[in-house]
Amino acid sequence: MSQPGIPASGGASTGLQAQNGAASASGSPYTNGPVQNALMSSQVSVSQGYNSQLPGSYPHLIPAKTLNPVSGQSNSGGSQTVSPLSNYQRPGQAPYGPPVASHPVTPSLRSGPSPQMPLPTSQNPAATPMPSGSFLPGASVPSPSNWQYNYLSQTNHCPRASSQPTMTGNTNLMSPQYVSSGDSSLQNNFIKSGSALPLANPPLPTTFQPGAPLGPPPTGGPPPVRGLTPQKLTARTVPQPSFNSTSNQEATSQPTNKNPTMSRSVGYSYPSLPPGYQNTPPPSTTGTGIPLSSLNYPSGPQAFTQTPLGANHLTASMSGLSLHPEGLRVINLLQERNMLPSTPLQPPVPNLHEDIQKLNCNPELFRCTLTSIPQTQALLNKAKLPLGLLLHPFKDLVQLPVVTSSTIVRCRSCRTYINPFVSFLDQRRWKCNLCYRVNDVPEEFMYNPLTRVYGEPHRRPEVQNATIEFMAPSEYMLRPPQPPVYLFVFDVSHNAIETGYLNSVCQSLLDNLDLLPGNTRTKIGFITFDSTIHFYSLQEGLSQPQMLIVSDIEDVFIPMPENLLVNLNESKELVQDLLKTLPQMFTKTLETQSALGPALQAAFKLMSPTGGRMSVFQTQLPTLGVGALKPREEPSQRSSAKEIHLTPSTDFYKKLALDCSGQQVAVDLFLLSGQYSDLASLGCISRYSAGSVYYYPSYHHQHSPVQVQKLQKELQRYLTRKIGFEAVMRIRCTKGLSIHTFHGNFFVRSTDLLSLPNVNPDAGYAVQMSVEESLTDTQLVSFQSALLYTSSKGERRIRVHTLCLPVVSTLNEVFLGADVQAISGLLANMAVDRSVTASLSDARDALVNAVIDSLSAYRSSALSNQQSGLMVPFSLRLFPLFVLALLKQKSFQTGTNARLDERIFAMCQVKNQPLVYLMLTTHPSLYRVDNLSDEGAISINDRTIPQPPILQLSVEKLSRDGAFLMDAGSVLMLWVGRNCGQNFLSQVLGVENYALIPQTMTDLPELDTPESARTIAFISWLREQRPFYPILYVIRDESPMKANFLQNMVEDRTESALSYYEFLLHIQQQVNK
Ligand SMILES: [Zn+2]
């Protein structure tokens, strides 16, 4: 394997600089590069996260005075444990190497031989360019105005583009997506065109010919498998004459277990091969005594014929398109201004044979900006669209097949997990769909536990499900899976106590204590701080919690570490006592100082032996000790796009986050502050440790009841949702493609291994890619993400998602398959980076130019008929609208009085949210709800749910006699017009007249009226579709919240921003140049 060794020979020193390694630009030692380099040269294992604990430190003894939190372990801590590279398997080696011998592990915590964890490997590490700087504070990037998504430029847009196809040099400052166009004419801010008029020409069809083949005849790639006869052993049990059989419908009717919890029964799940399987007929489905329903695959098998993955995928390849003839339209946006569908926009369906597509990964989990992958980088460059993936890998799933098997089948060369898109050459050999290596089918895999038939490797769940979870054997561990550890760190300064937050949080914890994910090993602890740090001994047997105060914040030590993080079960009463008394303990405090940095250091020390989740509540700017910060916000510059502080003012929080990452600690920051708290600096603690940031501006228990409710709802989700510990994620793609930039909260440990001390089901990620080698010999490409984590029950698991997409050779096909939401989401991530590395105005220009460049490319290269107007392919009909919405989003807007912390928080959200919520935040859905009817309603579990059409975001669509609901993802806003009908007021809001609508109303009364039932059904339905609970604000005309509502009217003109039509005119003017 590769990721440790191979890059070392090539551009390791730079190639390994973390893309989120801000320090790489600022010269801090905490770059991946130097550290990794040191590791390389000394042949140290790179599985830092799993061997990074100090030798012998895994048990609960905490070397409080000896552990230096800034010990240079930073991203890895790997220098502490040396294991030979040969422990990591290379192609051709046995799948799992011998256990690493050099990790002292406590016997008491172990039950087997010393395990190791071979980390997933990169399929082509030498060719994998370094990740570029996602967060490069202070980096001086030449003022760019558009994105060069790729390495090679076909146009003179890109005067200084490197011609190197891979990034082997120090490219952090010259990350390839930030190549300036040099075309200053494109940098003009929107210029309203006075001359362009809507054009009369009707849209003409594109040059795309549905009948034309999608590409050259296949000359390589996985060949179709056909006519393969099954092993004779199967013949008696399943009518399965060949892999191409189409008579498998009965397979779908097999018993399925709908139990969403997918509980695992170890004994039966994936039994090893039945004794004597080679000589006797396999057990029949009824003969084993094991009911099928007790098996592990509740999702049930899908009818499977080994899909012809080769040439045949083309035969029906147009079927996807023929279903959507609209998709072939060319649209003049100046004529057809309302392209917003009245129902939620669906992601495009990849143009694949339906047999392949039906096995494909759910786009909610994994999608690509281009559902048709351009064959060459040149073609991608021509399209001027970004190529990347958007992932929601740990999403809560109703159904998830879980496999327990002693053999996890992976490609011996690139370590790809076997998946639905591999091809079986025969029963004994399968060909990897990422690197094309031919692998043997292990004996155990020949047995299908679902059908209990031997000789059906192609019907195994691993080959039937694009999303699957494996129970990882001990080879995937370097130490015993950690227990769930939860540490809460509370600001108890005067300011904090004033907000009253502690009461809410403690109450919420009390309410949810038994719902914390975990088992009998769960540990919990508490730290509070103001100018000093307070620990709480919760040792079993104490009559009440003991508070221990440490006033030396210069050199923090941990008193009685063994009693501070305690077993929740054993000390539950003490924990409850503490939570009940904590809010009262500091009510008289006069201490205004905040020693957040030292408190975080203490918390880190306490947790570093085990790892876990640290939840930090902070209400002000830290003022004491390390990590103290100074106000930097200048309100007079809030509305300007220049000179605002988006970069951290200190690297303390990032360094500490990297230390945390090395010890498997993630930090979630809850910032509840009415004043500037420098979230740009504080947020680093979560960003690099794979935590999350929550922000409640102006939280106050009396003055802002809505925030109180929001915190309570979000805490409930936060405390009880699924959590994965000590996780790593790797994304692989078919040979020829290469991943080069990662977005999200994590640390890039090696070229492409994301370190996620915690992973949560609400986190999203994005990556950028390029086409490194021509894909002309390839019909299909695949992408696979593998997330290895420890569950709260202490199981090591691997969640794998595989996405398969077609390769195309023409620009038209590339445009046809563009996924405008994914493109907009990826651009938003890139724009956050650009804001930080360059400036907000650069980021804004780049967003605009992304639209101009791609539509210009479409006009000049893909449109056969040059006509005036703003011609766009159907797939991109919402592109200008979404980019305009991004420009008006809190992250990137100008001309408003957005607080700096609020802007930074919005940027954090862009980076950390799954695409679906990012899009709702950016372009909310607007519905009229005062006249809901059952027409077109859907029915779910006997409930009738109205489906009002989605309206354009323009005040034109509002009227004072109506009520309008705006769904902005985490927030629902119900604006009630002044002349709203009496019926709605009384039957839904329960008030007699408009004046009686409460100033603060955050839920609807349940009235015994059909109107109330419909409205509540609709709002509940919206809420049920997301795992968190969006607060509903009822907004009167004179309410201060009305400004928030109107701010989302993306299509309207504001003082500082163009209307949608003006924006279109501007784009048209630039495109038609
Ligand atoms: Zn492979």
Instruction: Tell me the per-residue pLDDT of 728-756, one tens digit each, with 9 for 90 and over.
Output: 999 999 999 999 999 999 999 887 899 99
Question: 782 C-alpha to center of ligand 1: Å?
Answer: 11
**Can you give the pLDDT at residue 899?**
86
* Arithmetic mean of pLDDT, 668-675: 94
Residue 214 has pLDDT above 90, yes or no: no
pLDDT at residue 2 is higher than 60: no
Percentage of the chain beyond pLDDT 90 is 58
d(CA 731, ligand 1 centre) in Å? 13
pLDDT of residue 864: 73
**Both tokens assigned to 471:** 């129970």
pLDDT tens-digit map of 1050-1061: 999 988 899 999
Please report which residue ranges of 858-954 form alpha helices under DSSP H: 879-888, 900-912, 915-922
Residue 556's nearest CA partner among 613, 604, 610, 620 is 604
Q: In the predicted model, is pLDDT for residue 183 greater than 90?
A: no
How far apart are the CA of 440 and the centre of ligand 1, in A? 12
Position 125 pLDDT exceeds 90: no
CA of 424 to the centre of ligand 1 (A): 13
CB-based contacts of 462, cutoff 8 Å, min separation 6: 403, 409, 417, 418, 419, 445, 468
Q: Which of 42-46, 80-84, 845-849 ranks highest by mean pLDDT?
A: 845-849
How far is the centre of ligand 1, averaged over its atoms, from the C-alpha of 486 (Å)? Answer: 38
Determine the average pLDDT of the residues in 297-317: 38
Alpha-carbon gap, residue 307 to 135, rounded angstroms = 42
Most confident of 32-46, 818-832, 992-1006: 818-832
Distance 422 CA to ligand 1 centre (A): 9
CA 180 to ligand 1 center in whole angstroms: 37
Confidence bin at 162 (pLDDT 50/70/90)? very low
Judge whether residue 12 has pLDDT over 60: no
What separation in Å is there between the alpha carbon of 800 and the centre of ligand 1?
Answer: 15
What are the distances in angstroms from CA 478 to CA 411, 484, 726, 786? 22, 17, 11, 17
Q: 466: closest CA among 360, 356, 308, 353?
A: 360
List the structure tokens of 46.
């790179």
Q: Report d(CA 839, CA 845) in Å as an integer.
A: 10
548-582: pLDDT as tens digits: 999 999 999 999 888 999 999 999 999 999 999 99
Q: State residue 98's pLDDT score.
A: 31
Distance 413 CA to ligand 1 centre (A): 5
Cα 439 to middle of ligand 1, angstroms:
8
Give the phi and the psi of residue 541 in degrees, each rounded to 5: 100, -20
Q: Quote the ligand 1 centre to 1003 CA distance (angstroms).
A: 53
Neighbours of 902 (CB within 10 A): 16
**CA–CA dist 106, 59 (Å, integer):** 6
Q: What distance in angstroms lies between residue 745's CA and the mean position of ligand 1's atoms?
A: 28
Spatial separation of the C-alpha atoms in residues 941 and 53, rounded to whole Å: 51
Overall average pLDDT of the 133-143 stretch: 35
Give the 3-state DSSP-derived string for 790-823, with helices as H, strands as E and coil as C: EECCCCEEEEEEEEEEEEECCHHHHHHCECHHHH
Q: How far is the CA of 483 from the centre of ligand 1 (A)?
A: 34
Q: How confident is the model at residue 896 (pLDDT cuts 50, 70, 90)?
A: low
Q: How far is the CA of 811 from the centre of ligand 1 (A)?
A: 29
Mean pLDDT computed over 757-767: 97
Compute the distance from residue 948 Cα to the ligand 1 centre, in Å.
48
Query: H/E/C letters for each residue in 383-411?
Result: HCCCCEEEECCCCCCCCCCEEECCCCCEC
Euclidean distance between CA atoms 966 and 955, whole angstroms:
12
Q: What's at 820, amino acid-wise?
A: V
For residue 639, the model assigns a pLDDT of: 53
Among 388, 384, 350, 351, residue whose Cα is nearest residue 369? 388
Reported as half-sphere exposure (CB side, CA atoms, 13 A), residue 7 has a value of 36
Beta bridge partners of 768: 388, 741
User: Is-contact 806 351, C-beta < 8 A?
Assistant: yes
- Give me 631's structure tokens: 């106000």
* 862 band by pLDDT with thresholds 50, 70 and 90: confident
Which of helix, strand or coil describes residue 492? coil
Say how many Å lie between the CA of residue 797 and the centre of ligand 1. 21
Report how far ligand 1's centroid is from the alpha carbon of 175 (Å). 28
CA distances 859 to 49, 181, 192, 606, 867, Å, are 49, 19, 21, 60, 9
The pTM of the whole model exceeds 0.85 = no
Tell me, in angstroms, the distance from the centre of ligand 1 to residue 368's CA.
21
> How far, in Å, is the centroid of ligand 1 from the Cα of 244?
24
Task: Write down how long the chain is.
Answer: 1073
What tens digit of pLDDT does each residue of 426-446 get? 989 999 999 999 999 998 898
Strands 971-976 and 938-940 turn out to be unpaired
| Angle in degrees, CA 269, 270, 272, rounded to 5 | 130
Q: Provide the token pair at 865.
A: 């008929």
Q: Is the pLDDT of residue 296 over 80?
A: no
How much distance in Å is there from the Cα of 35 to the middle of ligand 1? 29
Residue 1001 is classified by DSSP as: B
Gap from CA of 121 to ligand 1 centroid (Å): 10
Task: Please tell me whether residue 438 adopts helix, strand or coil conformation.
Answer: strand
Give the distance (Å) from ligand 1 centre to CA of residue 123.
Answer: 7
**Nearest Cα residue to 744 out of 802, 822, 830, 671:** 830
**Residue 330 phi/psi, 5° resolution?**
-105, 135
Confidence of residue 149 (pLDDT cuts 50, 70, 90): low
Between CA 883 and CA 922 the distance in angstroms is 9
737 C-alpha vs ligand 1 centroid, how far in Å? 13
Token pair of 387 as six digits: 């190529």
Query: Can you tell me the distance from the alpha carbon of 72 to that of 79, in angstroms, rounded to the nearest whole number?
Result: 9
Output the CA 414–ligand 1 centroid distance in Å.
4
How far is 161 from 178, CA to CA, in rounded Å? 9
Number of CB atoms found within 10 A of residue 981's CB: 15
Rounded distance between C-alpha atoms, residue 263 and residue 246, angstroms: 32
Beta-carbon contacts of residue 927 (< 8 Å; ≥ 6 apart): 948, 949, 950, 951, 964, 965, 966, 967, 1018
What is the whole-number distance in angstroms between the Cα of residue 425 and the centre of ligand 1?
A: 14
Q: Which of 72, 101, 133 is nearest to 838 (CA)?
A: 133
Residue pair 484/725 in contact by the 8 Å Cβ criterion: yes
pLDDT per residue as tens digits for the range 695-731: 999 899 999 888 898 999 999 999 999 999 999 999 9
416 C-alpha vs ligand 1 centroid, how far in Å? Answer: 5
Q: Which residues touch 643 (CB under 8 Å, ≥6 apart)? A: 637
C-alpha 419 to ligand 1 mean position (Å): 11
Distance from Cα 861 to the centre of ligand 1, integer Å: 36
Compute, in angstroms, the gap from residue 443 CA to the centroid of ligand 1. 19
Token code pair at residue 544: 């009440």
Burial of 336 per CB tally in 10 Å (0-12, 13-18, 19+): middle
Return d(Cα 308, Cα 243) in angstroms, integer: 9
| Residues forming a β-bridge with 945 | 938
Closest to 182 (Cα-Cα) out of 153, 211, 209: 153
Q: What separation in Å is there between the alpha carbon of 436 and the centre of ligand 1?
A: 6
Instruction: Please say whether the beta carbons of 173 and 133 come within 8 A.
Output: yes
Residues within 5 Å of ion ligand 1 by Cβ? 411, 413-414, 416, 432, 434-435, 437
pLDDT over 70 at 979, yes or no: yes
Choose the weakest-confidence range: 278-287, 516-525, 984-993. 278-287
Q: Which residue has the higher pLDDT, 81 or 503?
A: 503
Distance 128 CA to ligand 1 centre (A): 15
Q: Give the CA count within 13 Å in the CB-facing half-sphere of 703.
A: 10
Q: For residue 412, how far is its CA from the centre of ligand 1 (angstroms)?
A: 7
Mean pLDDT across the stretch 375-399? Answer: 96
Answer for the pair 1040, 853: CB distance below 8 angstroms, yes or no: no
CA of 434 to the centre of ligand 1 (A): 5
Given this model, what pLDDT does residue 1040 score?
85
Q: pLDDT per residue over 925-943, tens digit each? A: 999 999 999 888 999 888 8
Check if the beta carbon of residue 924 is closer than 8 Å to that of residue 1046.
no
Q: How many angstroms separate the alpha carbon of residue 512 from the centre of ligand 1?
A: 45
Of 740, 738, 742, nearest to 729 (Cα)?
A: 742
DSSP bridge partners of 994: none
Q: Kindly give the distance from the C-alpha atom of residue 357 to the centroid of ligand 1, in angstroms, as a whole number.
A: 21
pLDDT band at 991 (very low <50, low <70, confident <90, very high): very high
Would you say residue 71 has pLDDT above 50?
Answer: no
Among 81-85, 399-403, 682-686, whose mean pLDDT is lowest?
A: 81-85
Contacts of 703 (CB under 8 A, 6+ apart): none
Tell me the HSE value of 613 on the side-chain side, using a 13 A CA sphere: 29
355 alpha carbon – ligand 1 mean position (Å): 22
Q: Output the CA 2–ligand 1 centroid distance in Å.
A: 13
First-last CA distance in the chain: 51
531: CA distance to ligand 1 center in Å? 55
Expressed in angstroms and rounded, the spacing between residue 119 Cα and the centre of ligand 1 is: 15
Cα(408) to centroid(ligand 1), Å = 14
Cα(431) to centroid(ligand 1), Å: 8
Quick one: pLDDT at residue 546?
A: 94
Q: What's the CA-to-centroid distance between 31 and ligand 1, angstroms? A: 30
**How far is ligand 1, taken at its centre, from the CA of residue 85, in Å?**
20
Instruction: Determine the distance separating the centroid of ligand 1 and the alpha carbon of 776, expressed in angstroms.
Output: 19
The per-residue pLDDT of the chain, averaged, comes to 75
How far apart (Å, rounded) are the C-alpha atoms in residues 190 and 180?
Answer: 18
Which residues have a Cβ under 8 Å from the Cβ of 287 and sit 6 or more positions away?
none
Per DSSP, helices labelled H in 542-692 are: 572-585, 596-607, 652-662, 679-682, 684-687
pLDDT of 1063 above 60? yes
The rounded distance, in Å, linking the Cα atoms of 198 and 449 is 63
**Cα(236) to centroid(ligand 1), Å:** 34
Q: Rounded to the nearest whole angstrom, what is the distance from the C-alpha of residue 90 to the centroid of ligand 1?
A: 12
Neighbours of 777 (CB within 10 A): 15
942: tokens are 């006997």
The pLDDT of 100-104, averaged and rounded, is 32
**pLDDT above 70 (res 954):** yes
Dihedral over alpha carbons 984, 989, 993, 998 (to 10 degrees): -150
Res 1028: pLDDT: 83
pLDDT at 146: 66
Q: Which amino acid is at 193?
A: S
State in Å: Cα 415 to ligand 1 middle.
Answer: 6
Q: Comparing 782 with 171, which gets the higher pLDDT?
A: 782
Over the stretch 21-48, which tens digit does the pLDDT of each residue have?
Answer: 333 333 333 323 222 332 232 232 323 3
In order of 1012, 1019, 1037, the CA distances from 999 in angstroms are 20, 20, 10
862 versus 311: which is more confidently predicted?
862
Phi, psi of 201 (to 5 degrees): -65, 130
Question: For residues 582 and 576, what is the distance between their CA atoms, to the nearest angstrom?
Answer: 10
3-state secondary structure 496-533: HHHHCHHHHHHHHHHHHHHHCCCCCCCEEEEEEECCCE
pLDDT for 218: 32
At residue 128, the 3 state secondary structure works out as coil
Determine the distance separating the centroid of ligand 1 and the alpha carbon of 151, expressed in angstroms.
25
Instruction: Give 318-363 pLDDT, tens digit per residue.
Output: 334 444 567 788 999 999 878 999 999 999 999 999 999 999 999 9
Q: Which two tokens stand for residue 586?
A: 């500091």
Distance 127 CA to ligand 1 centre (A): 15
Q: How far is the CA of 98 from the centre of ligand 1 (A)?
A: 22
> Distance from the CA of 1 to the center of ligand 1, in angstroms?
12
Residue 648 scores a pLDDT above 90: yes
Span from the CA of 851 to the centroid of ligand 1 (angstroms): 36
Model confidence at 240: pLDDT above 90: no
Residue 795: pLDDT above 60?
A: yes
Q: How far is the CA of 122 from the centre of ligand 1 (A)?
A: 10
**Dist. CA 438 → ligand 1 center (Å):** 8
